[in-house]
Amino acid sequence: MEHDVVIIGGGAAGLMCALTAGRRGRRVRVLEHANRCGKKILMSGGGRCNFTNTGTTPANFLSANPHFCKSALARFRPEHFIAMVDAHGIAWHEKELGQLFCDDSSKQVVAMLLAECAEAGVLIETSCSVETIRAAPAGGFALRTSGGAMATESLVIATGGLSIPKMGATGFGYDIARQFGHAVLPTRAGLVPLTLSGKHQEHYADLAGVSVHVSARCGKARFDNAMLVTHRGLSGPAILQVSSYWEPGKELLLDLLPEHDIEAWLLERQREQPAAELRTVLADVFPKRFAQRLCEVWFTSKPMRQYSHGELPAIARQLAHWPIVASGTEGYRTAEVTLGGVDTGGVSSSRMESTTVPGLFFIGEVLDVTGWLGGYNFQWAWASGHAAGAVA
């Protein structure tokens, strides 16, 4: 057979798998349908690629089987990727919460992966589309591609998720999974801005650009971070994170002052600033326009001394349990990730190999494993790519 391993998709997971298998002496070919590899890496982290998170644990991932990611994450950890980054002299810094970014550019991460692939003898073909795949009678797989026919012993599906279609995202990986009898769990956009409609949108729309530190909650998930008001709804890290847990019909609540005992704070303000209006008091802790809007739409602003004993605790409760009625999400157009995907039930968690079709592997985002915002998705791409590359 002319190839030991063919990898479809030259993104984060595919390139990591390729260099790992290539280092073992396997003859590896990567087929990428875009005109270059790693486009999502290039656009990630605002051009600086948040390439890992030092605090990565399985708890940072969503999957129908929360145990699936454990084995690969335990074997290829953030320090392993950091060692590669350091060996290539790429300077990096921690932004917050264990999130590591390049000091300079995400181009360095792509260049590093391509250099490692070249060193390991990996062949990379860009602008190559795969037309058909079938299991060869004598074992392995036969592929028909725009670059001709090819045969391989192992086939790795690393085609990613559906987010940002204009970057080359396709549902191809899901089609192949189904072709070989694998279940694909329903997909939806994750790490995505939420949209508001009707009066909910009207209340916020002209505050676009205002950022407030909140705690966003959906079910048991809770994220303390910034919320950004947009023209069409809400975004910012707290909203992106909680969006992965939200579905239409699910309750979404904000604590607008997560670091305060709000009732105690309001009662203290009443004692210390009895003549100040509520809107002035709230402007100490919120951007002024946001405080003003709270008092126009939801509360009546009057001097603090005029609030009765029952009124301030009621305002405090409302600030701590602020309901958001989202009409939907901005969808795959802007989503950072795709939730759902190839059911991990049919895939070995240590090898990423199909349990029913020997030699067929699934890695990265095409699988039903989705990380939080903050470098976790790349860590999953590296870890799952490495797990498959070690055995494919």
Which residue number, 319 or 347, has a Cβ lying nearer to ligand FDA? 347
CB of 68 to ligand FDA, least distance (A): 15
CB of 167 to ligand FDA, least distance (A): 7
Compare residues 43 and 205 and give the one whose CB is closer to ligand FDA: 43
Least distance from C-beta 300 to ligand FDA, angstroms? 42
Minimum distance, C-beta of residue 293 to ligand FDA, in the bound complex (Å) = 30
Q: Phi-psi bin for 235: left (phi > 0), alpha (psi -120 to 50), beta?
A: beta
Residues sharing a CB contact under 8 Å with residue 137, sequence separation 6 or more, in sequence order: none
Nearer to ligand FDA, 61 or 376 (CB): 376
The Cα–Cα gap between 152 and 154 comes to: 6
Of 76 and 299, nearer to ligand FDA (C-beta) is 76
Smallest gap from residue 160 Cβ to ligand FDA (A): 3
**C-alpha distance across the termini of the chain, in Å:** 14
Backbone angles phi, psi at 253, to 5 degrees: -125, 145
Tell me how crowded residue 146 is: count the other CB atoms within 10 A of its CB.
Answer: 12
Name the residue nearer to ligand FDA (CB basis): 12 or 124: 12
Q: Residues interacting with ligand FDA, by CB under 6 A?
A: 8-14, 31-34, 39-40, 43-45, 49-50, 129-130, 158-160, 163-164, 168, 170, 172, 336-337, 364-366, 375-378, 381
Judged by beta carbon, residue 129 or residue 301, the one nearer ligand FDA is 129
State which residue, 158 or 257, has the beta carbon closest to ligand FDA: 158
Minimum CB separation from ligand FDA for residue 230, in Å? 16
Write the CB contacts of 45 (distance below 8 Å, at least 6 apart in sequence). 51, 101, 102, 106
CA-angle at 319, arms to 314 and 321, nearest 5°:
90
In the three-class reduction of DSSP (H, G, I as helix; E, B as strand; rest coil), residue 241 is classed as helix
Residue 379 · residue 78 · CB < 8 Å: yes
- The nearer residue to ligand FDA, 290 or 376, going by C-beta atoms, is 376
Long-range pairs for 90-94: beta carbons < 8 A, 24 or more residues apart: 92/51, 94/54
**Residue closest to ligand FDA, measured at CB:** 11
Q: Is 222 helix (H, G, I), strand (E, B) or coil?
A: strand
State in angstroms the smallest separation of the CB of 314 from ligand FDA.
41
Which 3 state secondary structure label does DSSP give 354?
Answer: strand
Tokens of 52: 């890992």
The answer to whether the beta carbons of residues 143 and 149 sit under 8 Å apart is yes
Q: How far is the CB of 97 from ligand FDA (least distance, A)?
A: 13
